[in-house]
A = this chain, B = another copy of it.
């Protein structure tokens, strides 16, 4: 028997695979397709203090091996998530990682404090990296000092471990990672989307109503992997890696680069069964590679 379990702060994962925030809603839709209890965890859609309507449409555009999105953090707000989405998810035996977003430190603190009290929320993912909102969001993720202070503030109020979600749109991601480590973060999730744009060649107009959007999918995997590798080398925080994962070998790559678990985003849209399929294939692939447990594989690229 190959051991797929992973232990990171707040999370005892039966396997390292989880859907990424924003790509799985609050689970309801995918629950029509398979039993969510199979998943290692679920990262739910970003939650803000108030209901957010998000951006005008079109909100998505396809690019070479990738897509742009500018959803703009549409969500039913803390109330709705806390009182309706989270209780609904309790029927599944799966830890929830709540994605927290906001435009001010107070926003983050308010959501973190409340949502971390939900019984099935085992960790928070603080989204300081959303490229699709005008204020806040990404600015918290680009300045190390700001990121550190936000981490501190959130840590103070959270009842569960806090993971900070890093933006790839920075000169030096390691400095941000170190800053949130200083701020007391329990872990890091990375990467969020790269800021990109698509134009309609016929008209010259941006395809996405918001003009720019976040690039995700296989196109960004090399960037994500490089960043996970660097951060894992230079900090001690556990990392949940993501960016362009579509199959079991992508998961192997992120684990090798130093991630302790792996999130799957865009690929859910292409193959809604991608998470359980990867989970199903992991034991055999580990066996083929000569590993008895997942933990042995984590970070092996650094040990070569």
Which residues of A pack against B, CB within 8 Å? 63-66, 68, 142, 169-172, 194-199, 201-206, 211-212, 215, 217-223, 225-226, 229, 244, 249, 252-253, 256-257, 289, 297, 300-301, 304
Contacts and interface: CB of A to CB of B under 8 A. Distances in A.
Given A65-B65, A256-B204, A300-B204, A196 B223 contact: yes
A225 B199 contact: yes
Given A66-B219, A212-B226, A219-B219, 5 more contacts: A64-B221, A197-B257, A199-B256, A201-B252, A211-B229
Nearest to A220: B219
A257 B219 CA distance: 21
Nearest to A212: B226
Nearest to A61: B222
Contact of A225 (B198, B218, B244): B198
Contact of A253 (B65, B169, B201): B201
Contacts of A205: 301, 304
B212 A68 contact: no
8 contacts: A63-B221, A64-B66, A194-B194, A199-B301, A204-B297, A211-B229, A218-B219, A219-B219
A281 to B, nearest CB: 12
Query: Which of A169, A222, A223, A249 has the most chain B CB atoms closer than 10 A to its own CB?
Result: A222
A204 B301 contact: yes
B66 A202 contact: no
Contacts of A300: 204
Nearest to A250: B201
Nearest to A131: B226
B142 A64 contact: no
